Amino acid sequence: DAMVIQNPRYQVTQFGKPVTLSCSQTLNHNVMYWYQQKSSQAPKLLFHYYDKDFNNEADTPDNFQSRRPNTSFCFLDIRSPGLGDAAMYLCATSSKGQGSGYEQYFGPGTRLTVT
């Protein structure tokens, strides 16, 4: 089945130690998103890629970076994690273009713990 995969599902890192979360998709969607979700709150969009074009949300801290080396993969890099960055990180994809339904498809998430 076509899907969005996130690895690892659980990640523990130390305060200030860089960490990378990964996302892959078999849906062949041209848009990929990264969200941060805390404590059953609404997901907060960090940034998205439309093909190779990177779009950062205005309030996303510089500590968060992303890479999309190809259509299938997207990475979230947290350069110096703080305790406040502990959260669930969700990757999502959508298809932009004629006939797009605009819905986003989410991966299972990576729960990040910062010690």
Partner 1 sequence: AQSVAQPEDQVNVAEGNPLTVKCTYSVSGNPYLFWYVQYPNRGLQFLLKYITGDNLVKGSYGFEAEFNKSQTSFHLKKPSALVSDSALYFCAVRDTAGFQKLVFGTGTRLLVSP
Question: Where on the chain is the footprint of partner 1 (CB under 8 A)?
Answer: 4, 6, 31, 40-43, 45, 48, 50, 55, 88, 90-92, 94, 96, 100-109, 111
Q: Nearest distance from residue 16's CB to partner 1, in Å?
A: 26
| Residue 15 or 98 having the CB closest to partner 1 | 98
- Identify which of residues 8 and 18 has a Cβ nearer to partner 1 in the complex: 8
Q: How many CA atoms lie within 13 A of 115 on its CB side?
A: 4
CA distance 40 to 37: 7
Residue 17 or 52 having the CB closest to partner 1: 52
Euclidean distance between the first and final Cα of the chain, in Å? 36
Structure tokens at 75: 């990475």
